[in-house]
Amino acid sequence: MKSTSRDAVLYFSESLVPTARKALCDPLEEVREAAAKTFEQLHSTIGHQALEDILPFLLKQLEDDEVSEFALDGLKQVMAIKSRVVLPYLVPKLTTPPVNTRVLAFLSSVAGDALTRHLGVILPAVMLALKEKLGTPDEQLEMANCQAVILSVEDDTGHRIIIEDLLEATRCPEVGMRQAAAIILNIYCSRSKADYTSHLRSLVSGLIRLFNDSSPVVLEESWDALNAITKKLDAGNQLALIEELHKEIRFIGNESKGEHVPGFCLPKKGVTSILPVLREGVLTGSPEQKEEAAKALGLVIRLTSADALRPSVVSITGPLIRILGDRFS
């Protein structure tokens, strides 16, 4: 094909295309790799027609148990070589309900930067797929697929889109979508190796605001996500968050009309997700930060039940006693 004119390739395409299709589903990995290079050459010569002739066939083969594993790898080989062309073609097909998160997860691992361009379509689709599987035996498998997709994103723009879109979805009126968004957000905050320091304020703000949610799943997942974030923070980032944290605690306090905040009253969890930040403020902050942290701590105590506070009493009172011993106005 490299040595032949476009017209000749088009003339013989009826023989070439089935050969490439068959080779991309071959049981031997070496054959599939070679077939991906053949596909690349075919695409370079006849353009979009190569996508139309080969990719729908591969997607159909995924439904055949005997060859689905080979067809999936064939798609992956093609993606590794031509992701910028193949992904825009596949994404609409894979994100149309029923969403194929298994294939999306598999292909995301080789998509590279091309994945970021399609996150606006992929994220709502994986949230929808997870929502449909919540409470079913397939829930864990679906979560694993969602994890594979979001952890494949490596560039800053992609991380910003993930955080903004998931936080937006946690405000959805539909409880299933809020649950799915909170679960994926927790997976991202707990397992991503990305540096999301520049998004700390929006993450903390968005997660704290979920502490008044009516869904137990959203409460647990948002608590775990916030805990994962605060556990990783160094002292400097903790101190920088105090003002924002106090503002958001005031917000959810007003929202709950001074009643206990459900997210602070979770059994065995209580206030330990935000305590490290407030402790750091009380112990090492500037006089202004100490005051802000102490006020926030006072508010948290009022918004938390006695049972939920009990495990944290020592952690809370130690820093406060230290303040009483110092000379602060």
What tens digit of pLDDT does each residue of 173-206 get?
999 999 999 999 999 999 988 888 889 999 999 9
Residue 300 lies in a domain: yes
In this model, does residue 280 exceed pLDDT 70?
A: yes
Q: Which of 82, 111, 132 is the last residue of a domain?
A: 82
In a domain, 51, yes or no: yes
Residue 210 lies in a domain: yes
What's the pLDDT at 63? 83
Question: Cβ contacts of residue 132 below 8 Å, gap of 6+?
Answer: 98
111 in the same domain as 51: no
Is residue 190 a part of any domain in this protein?
no
* Residue 284 falls inside a structural domain: yes
CB 204 within 8 A of CB 241: yes
Domain that includes residue 312, residue range: 198-328
Same-domain pairing of 311 and 202: yes
- Residue 158 sits in the same domain as residue 212: no
Count: domains in the chain:
3
Side chain identity at 145, as an amino acid letter?
A: N
Same domain, yes or no: 119 and 58:
no
Boundary (domain end) residue, out of 82, 106, 124: 82
pLDDT of residue 329: 66
Are residue 272 and residue 313 in the same domain, yes or no? yes
In a domain, 165, yes or no: yes
The helix-helix angle for 275-284 and 235-255 (nearest 10°) equals 120
Confidence band of 85 (pLDDT split at 50, 70, 90): confident
Same domain for 244 and 277, yes or no, is yes
Co-location of 209 and 317 in the same domain: yes
Domain match, 149 and 251 both: no
Domain match, 209 and 315 both: yes
Expressed in angstroms, the distance from the first to the final Cα of the chain is 83
Q: Of 49, 82, 115, which closes a domain? A: 82
User: Is residue 260 pLDDT above 90, yes or no?
Assistant: yes
Question: Taking a C-beta distance cutoff of 8 angstroms, is the pair 190, 150 a contact?
Answer: no
Cα 127 to Cα 3: distance, rounded to the nearest angstrom: 47
Task: Clarify whether residues 178 and 120 are in a common domain.
Answer: yes
**CB distance 36 to 24 below 8 Å:** yes
Q: Is residue 23 part of a domain?
A: yes
> Does some domain include residue 232?
yes
Residue 114: pLDDT band with limits 50, 70, 90: confident
